[in-house]
Amino acid sequence: MTVLNRRTLIKIGGAAAALPLLGGAAFAQVDKVKAAFVLIGTPDDNGWNFGHDTGRKFMLDKLGADKVETTVVTNVAEGPDSERVFRELAQQGHHIIFATSFGYGDYVHKVAKQFPDVKFEWATGNATGPNVSIYNAKFHEGRAVVGTIAGLMTKTNTIAYIGSFPIPEVRMGINAYAIAARKVNPAVKVKVVYVDSWFDPAKEADAARALIDQGVDVITQHTDGPAALQVAEERGIVGGFGQGADMSAFAPKSHLTSIIDVWGPHYVEAVQAVLDGTWKEGASWPGIAAGEVVIGPYNEKIPAEVVAKAEEVKNAIAAGTLHPFAGPINDNAGAERVAAGDVIDDGEFWAVDWYAEGVEA
């Protein structure tokens, strides 16, 4: 392989250096992979970025420091700044670059064209390229499990979901949560509050207060960090769920369980493929079955039969006998959206623009 250092680059000069001949690895096997992770925030956010960084550490551990070295770039804005970072990383000779946010997509594809020998993996992305793969996790499968717990545990029959923005992924998380909760408790309604930000802990906390003040006693959230859970703990409601990582340290009494993103195995697989020279363009979207979406430890206050029911849902999803979006599904205006015996498949998933029955959004 060609190892690039600053001196060779200076020799080659500015303009020419952008030409594709300067890729990192060749097609053949690689002795030691340089892998880079581009994060939108910092690894200590107790959420999304934490999950990716935990996955990176897992991968490092698994493959060993003689096989892989990693670079992490934090606080990279989704915009032209990210393009520069991707190019810098590619030019430093990284073999594979993980772009861990949707908004990086345009720039991943741009830089990937200039460095055809560098592999790019775009988390939550929606378009692949010759050297760009996308990967995601079926978080909504986890939502179905926590929805089951919420449906069984709520005393007020009012549960809530704090969302960031009304985008399909969030909407489908809400639907999975509501469908599962109503399956075990048809009287449940799901209140939704969008905070219109990916990051505003004080507003998330206020959203949690607003929901609890209006009768909600179980909350889950689609934003990073434990702000809503801490309010649940303070108010002493039935509880809430960790998102992205186990957050029980923030709310020992109210943290019922958590949906943990486990990116580690995917990172191991991707880097191993680069080591073997077998990496190829693809789309990876595993869920509970593959161990990429994991349900954390259950709080001891959850009754045994509720745990049993949650485990049953989890195992059925893993076994493929239960689909979170199996019909019949009505939307919250009463129209039938999915007929009995039908499911919303992976392709239709991203086009859903309605809420399931029982959702108040």
Partner 1 sequence: MRRGVSLQLRLEKRAAPSRFMLYATPVAAVLITMVLGALIFTLLGYDGLGAVREIFFTPLTNPYKWQDLAVKASPLVIIAVGLAVSYRANVWNIGAEGQYIVGGIAGTGVALLTYDMTGPWILPLMLLAGIAGGMAYAAIPAFLRTQYKVNEILTTLMLTYVSVQLLNYLVFGPWKSPTSMGQPQTVLFSADQSLPYVIPGTIVQLGTPIAILIAVLVWFVMSRSVFGFSVRVVGASPAAARYGGFSAHRTVWMALLVSGGLAGLAGILEAAGPFGRLVPQFPTNYGFTAIIVAFLGRLNPLGALLAGIVLAITFVGGEVAQTTIALPFAAVGIFQAMMLFLLLAGDVLVRYRVRRVANEPARAPA
Partner 2 sequence: MTLDLAIAIIITLVGASTPILLAALGELVVEKSGVLNLGVEGMMLIGAVVTVAVVLVTGNHWLAILCAALASAAAALIFGFLTLSLSANQVATGLALTILGTGFSALFGQPYTGKAVPLLRSPFPPELAADPLWRVLFGYSPLVYFSLIMVFVIWWFLKKTRAGLILRAVGENDLSAHSIGYPVIGVRYLAVAFGGAMAGIAGSCFPLILTPQWVERLTTGRGWIALALVVFAAWRPFRLLGGAYLFGLVMTLEVYAKAAGGGFRILPSELWAALPYLATILVLVLISMRRGGSSSAPACLGKPFLPAS
106 binds, among partner 2, partner 1, none (CB under 5 to 8 A by kind): partner 1
Assess 83 for contact with partner 1 (CB under 8 A).
yes
Which residues, 41 to 70, sit near partner 1 by CB under 8 A?
Answer: 42
Binding test (CB under 8 A) with partner 2, winner from 86, 250, 263, 325: 250
Strands 329-330 and 283-284: unpaired
- Nearest CB to partner 2, comparing residues 163 and 264: 163
Q: Work out how close the CB of 126 gets to partner 2 at its nearest, in angstroms, rounded to a whole number.
A: 25
The smaller minimum CB distance to partner 2, of residues 196 and 312, is found at: 196
The strand pairing partners of 261, in sequence order, are: 293
- Single out the residue of 32, 57, 67, 102 in contact with partner 1 (rule: CB under 8 A): 102
Asked whether the beta carbons of 192 and 161 are under 8 A apart, the reply is: yes
Could you tell me the end-to-end alpha-carbon distance of the chain, in angstroms, rounded to an integer? Answer: 54
Residue 9 partner contact from partner 2, partner 1, none using kind-dependent CB cut-offs of 5 to 8 Å = partner 1
| Position among 26, 84, 116, 301 found at the interface with partner 1 (CB under 8 A) | 84
List binders of partner 1 among 238-267 (CB under 8 A).
Answer: none
Cα–Cα distance between 37 and 40 in angstroms, integer? Answer: 10
How many CA atoms lie less than 13 Å away from 101 in the CB half-sphere?
Answer: 23
DSSP track, 94-122: -SEEEE-SGGGHHHHHHHHHH-TTSEEEE
The answer to the question of residue 285 lying near partner 2 (CB under 8 A) is no
Scanning the structure block, which residue is given the tokens 């060749």?
A: 26
**Which long-range contacts link 50-53 to residues 24+ away (Cβ below 8 Å)?**
50/244, 50/245, 51/244, 51/245, 51/260, 51/261, 51/262, 51/263, 52/98, 52/100, 52/123, 52/261, 52/263
C-beta separation of 274 from 95 below 8 A: yes
Cα–Cα distance, 34 to 275 (Å, whole number)? 10
* Helix/strand/coil for 238: coil
CB of 288 to partner 2, least distance (A): 26
* Binders of partner 2 in range 202-221 (CB under 8 A): 202-207, 209-211, 213-214, 216
- Out of 67, 93, 106, 283, the only residue in the binding site for partner 1 (CB under 8 A) is 106
Which residue shows structure tokens 């859903």?
352
Q: Which does 80 bind (CB under 5 to 8 A by kind): partner 1, partner 2, none?
A: partner 1
Would you give the binding string for partner 2 spanning residues 16-45, x where CB under 8 A is met? -------------------------xx-xx
CB of 144 to partner 1, least distance (A): 21
Summarize as ranges the residues that interact with partner 2 (CB under 8 A): 41-42, 44-46, 160, 189, 191-197, 199-207, 209-211, 213-214, 216, 225-227, 230-231, 234, 249-251, 360-361
Summarize as ranges the residues that interact with partner 1 (CB under 8 A): 6, 9-10, 13-19, 36, 42, 71-81, 83-85, 87-89, 91-92, 102-103, 106, 126, 165-168, 171, 196, 350-351, 353
